[in-house]
Amino acid sequence: MADANQIIDNEVKSNDVVLFMKGTPQFPMCGFSGQVVQILNYLGVPYKGVNVLEDETVRQGIKDYSNWPTIPQLYVKGEFVGGCDITREMFQAGELQQLFADKGIQVQQSA
């Protein structure tokens, strides 16, 4: 079986946008994960949600992988963006939308 770092690295590199979260995009299990899901859904950005509650090694491994202590964690084109607060602040400032544009990811949000 692959170790957590390999699993995480594969998810980050094989998905343009990936959210390591508690729960699923359809059923977030914490408010912070839910907020990031709402932002991504609002923007209409396709993304993959990885439920860290299903695998304790991934839950701890993602914290080590990013050197970031909290979940959720958002990655865009292999780059760690941040957690809930950073994602929300970037969204409110228009920076998240710009990041997606810069990375060639379509935002489906209606103006």
Q: What is the pLDDT of residues 58-111, one digit of tens each?
A: 999 999 999 999 999 999 999 999 999 999 999 999 999 999 999 999 888 654
Read off the CATH number of the domain in which 73 is found.
3.40.30.10
pLDDT in tens, 22-45: 999 999 999 999 999 999 999 999
Range(s) of the domain holding residue 85 = 4-100
Instruction: Note whether residue 108 is domain-resident.
Output: no
Instruction: Note whether residue 105 is domain-resident.
Output: no
> What are 39's two structure tokens?
């932002």
What residues have CB less than 8 Å from 82, skipping those under 6 apart? 68, 73, 74, 90
- The rounded distance, in Å, linking the Cα atoms of 1 and 43 is 36
Domain count, the chain: 1
What is the model's pLDDT at position 62?
96
Instruction: Note whether residue 85 is domain-resident.
Output: yes
- Is 84 annotated as ligand-binding? no
